Each structure stands twice: as structure tokens, then as C-alpha cells.
Structure 1
């Protein structure tokens, strides 16, 4: 049951006291009601397509952003290990220019990024590959925002390089959407799992993800339409 409810712990309901995000939730609810649920079905189809069809490697050698996940006893749990294993495979194939591990402290003594780096070294990461650690955030939006700062640190106006976004299939739709809003125009999704396998746990995660993606995208589109700069600043 705990794995079934895991998405609820870090979903949009964490922001229940944020008035701007409550406003966004209301906009999404109106859109779903007015469309008799068709809007949600459109986002569900998007989530399904990204989760099921994302490749196991980027099309070329590029910077790799590996998303962390809440640790279990200061160690990567199953989903996080699959993400790290995919990164290790891509490093071995010579497809990684620079490796970035994303994730701050989420309740443990070490950050998700630091735990991921330690795991990679234990499992054969070549010594010449030195991961860059983003340890300042624990949600996907801040992960990407801080990663963007790391990528641009050589100059404020430097264009963002092509990146591969490595995470679990159920998490890819959200990350890809946020990456587009944050200016990662050439970012591509890279699936951690070898294949898409639908079971009860995954179906529930995809259900939650579709609602989350709809909430984010409709909210930001509404903010852009109505000129709500405070909301738009979250993706700038």
C-alpha cells in the first residue's frame, strides 16, 4: 500500500496553502468540467504516449540530467536505481558529454544527488566521469531550474545545450513538459526502464501524472493568457 500511495506524498496537493496554485487548480477543474472530462483524456493520452514510447537513449552524445527520488535509508530505492543504471549504460556507450545528478535532501542525511553519485561509483562509473550534483531542490521544477543554472554557469546568456532527461517512464511526461516551459527546447526524454509494463502501481501513477501535467500546463497557459506574472516567474 505504501508504494501505491507514494505519488500522493509529493504531488500537487503538497502546495495546498499556495493561493496561486489553488487558483490554477480551480482553472483546471473548470476546464475538466466544461469539457466533460475530454481535457483530462487529452493529457492522459499525452502521458501514455510519452511513458510508453520514450527511447532508452538520446539520439546523440549530450548532457544527461538524471532525476533523483526519495531515498530509502540514505540509499537509492528501486526506481532511482533504474535511473542510475540507465545513466551508467549510456556512459558506457559514449553517449554522455556531462552527467548531472538532480535532487536535494528529502528526509535523509544525504542528498538524492550525493547518494546517486555514491551508487554510481560503487557500480563502475569510470573515474574520469565526474558527476555534477544539483542538491538544492526536491521537486521536478526546481530540479530543472537549478540544473539550468549549472548549465549556464559559464555565462548568463549562454544557450542551453541539448540534454537527455533520464527518469522513470511515469515521471517523464511531467519532466518533459516542465523542461519545455523552462527553455530546454532540445531536451529529449530517456526512459529508465527497459520496457513499459502496465500494472496496478503504474496505472495509478499514470493517472496521477495526467492530473499533475494537466494542472501544470493549463495553469501556466492561463497565467500567460491573463498576464499573471507571479505564476509565470516560476518557470523563468
Structure 2
């Protein structure tokens, strides 16, 4: 892999790959104007929301649900630290009888030869995942929005309704996944991968970054609906 490819790899994942999209850039400009117009207070509101969801999300759902586990970029085709925490939480829910089924979300990441979902399945099987709990793999997506869109297709019932779901991911990631899932029509509960909210610089940076993502997505969709820009609003639907 060339040095240039290594540098560009992060831009091919997640929200960055949408920067070539005119509608997404439109939303970014509107969000920036709103941010400047509020003197930064708009961002503070989203930051507090992301932190609140991260802090308050429980360790188990209130009922037995379909569990959606968000993947993360692999390291040498193996789950890295954050992903292992997500998998471990889903394993515990399955062992406690709180998982109606477990769906692992994530396609190929970076230069990996294995999908995130397949690597997660291998890890769970090695850790003694209970065979009585059905496991599904969603292996076509490369970001959280695609994760949920494909999960919606796989979970849709014959009448096109969706079962309620439990989202399992790192605490810093929960607020964005919750927003996207609700916009896509899911009835959701959130469960944090970590036993408690970590207090370290890395985690604070993650929460700060997620607040920016969430603000961008939410403001852009609200603006699109306000001006009747159907195509732009449909980006998150």
C-alpha cells in the first residue's frame, strides 16, 4: 500500500466519504452558519446531549430485543479494543437471555480481507456465544448510516414493520446511532459497551467529535425539511 493510500484511508470511511456530495456540503455550510450565528452555543448543546446519552445509557435493555452491534475498523483482521467491548456486551446480553437475536454490522474496513461482522462473529464464537441465539451478519456497509439502512432491510417483517431493537456500541457513539436509527423508523433502546463512561483524553476527544457529527446531521436534515429539499432530507431516511 502506498503512503498516499495510507493517508487517504480514513477519508474513505464514515462521514468523510460524503464530502463529494453537494447535498452534504450544503448541509455543512448551513450548519457552519448556524454555529457561527449562535456563537458556538449550538455545538455546546449537542456536546451536552452526546455526553448525557453516553453517561446515562444502561448496561442492558428493559426487555428482550433484537441486538444490533456496530462494528469498527479491524486491526490485522481482528476486532480492536472498542469493538471487542461492543462484542463482549452483546455476548453478555445473549447469555442473560436479553437478546432475541444478535446482528453484527460492518463490511470491509481499510485493507482488511475480512468484514467487521465476520471478524466479530469469529470472536463471539471463540468466546462461547450461545448457539440458541440466532446471529446475523450485515456485511455490506462501511458507516453507521449504511449499517442501519441494511439492518432495516434485513429485519423488516412481511408487513414492512420493524421490530424494536437494542443498539450496542461505544458510549461516545450512542447518540449518533440513536438519532439515525430513529430517523430510519426504529423503536430503539441504547446499551453502552463500557461498564461506565471512561474519563480520559481519548474519550473526551471522541465525544467532542461525535457532537460535531451529530450537529451536522441533525441541522442539515432540519434545514432540508424547512426548505422542502426532499432529496437532501432523504439522505437520512
Flag the 1:138–1:13 CA change in 2: closer, same or farther, 3 A. Answer: closer
2:178 pairs with 176, 179, 183, which one?
176
TM-score, length of structure 1 as denominator length? 0.92
Deviation at 1:160, TM superposition (A): 1.2
CA contact (8 A) 1:44 1:210 kept: yes
- In the alignment, structure 1 segments of 5+ residues that lack a partner are 1-5
RMSD (CA atoms): 1.6
CA contact (8 A) 1:11 1:212 kept: no
Matched, 1:138 2:142: yes
CA contact (8 A) 1:167 1:190 kept: yes
Report the equivalent of 2:41. Answer: 38
Deviation at 1:157, TM superposition (A): 3.4
The whole-number CA distance in structure 2 between the counterparts of 1:231 and 1:23 is 9
The whole-number CA distance in structure 2 between the counterparts of 1:104 and 1:8 is 16
Count, aligned residues: 228
Moved more, 63-72 or 125-134: 125-134
CA contact (8 A) 1:64 1:164 kept: yes
CA contact (8 A) 2:14 2:142 kept: no
Alignment of 1:1-236 (within 5 A): 10=13, 12-107=15-110, 108-152=112-156, 155=157, 157-184=159-186, 186-236=187-237
CA contact (8 A) 1:7 1:208 kept: no
Flag the 1:218–1:32 CA change in 2: closer, same or farther, 3 A. Answer: same
- In the alignment, structure 2 segments of 5+ residues that lack a partner are 1-8
